[in-house]
Amino acid sequence: MIRAYLLLGSNTGDRNLLMEAARVRIGLLAGKIAASSALYETAAWGNTEQPPFLNQVIALDTTLDARLLLTTILSVEKSLGRIRTTQWAPRTIDIDILLHGDAVIHEHDLTVPHPALPDRRFALTPLNEIAADLRHPVLQKTIGELLAECVDTLSVTMVNDSR
């Protein structure tokens, strides 16, 4: 069993419903959700001229390797209406693999740990909530240390702690 951490995000449609549907489908298709952060409303990254996101990190206990997990989450995104257009476009659901055990993977379409994790407060804040002492397998710093060092100033606000 591998503990993976996934970042879920939504900024179009019924964001709460889409986030719940994503969690349910991930639990059915990819493994057991062991922990979930609260929901956070976050300013959009990259293309800031769009609605804010709801974001959440889940800890997933899975038997899927990172490649199969990626295929599975892409199918979940598609089933929830995700259409890939341009980078940083608004989306019904976005699911990223932040960490997959202590794996370090550099492939053309899969990089684990997520390469932007140390630079994105909207990912570090909910991850810190459920795994503050977890060590980044490349940087060898805890998630709490990475959050303390993060220079990203975009707004991240807890909106629902319904775990």
* Ordered structural domains, the chain, with CATH: 2-115 (3.30.70.560)
pTM attached to this predicted model: 0.94
* pLDDT one-digit tens code per residue, 50-75: 899 999 999 999 999 999 999 999 99
Question: Catalytic residue numbers?
Answer: 82, 91, 94, 96
Q: How confident is the model at residue 159 (pLDDT cuts 50, 70, 90)?
A: very high
Number of CB atoms found within 10 A of residue 10's CB: 27
Neighbouring residues of 120: CB distance < 8 A, sequence distance ≥ 6: 45, 150, 152
Q: How far apart are the first and last CA of the chain?
A: 23
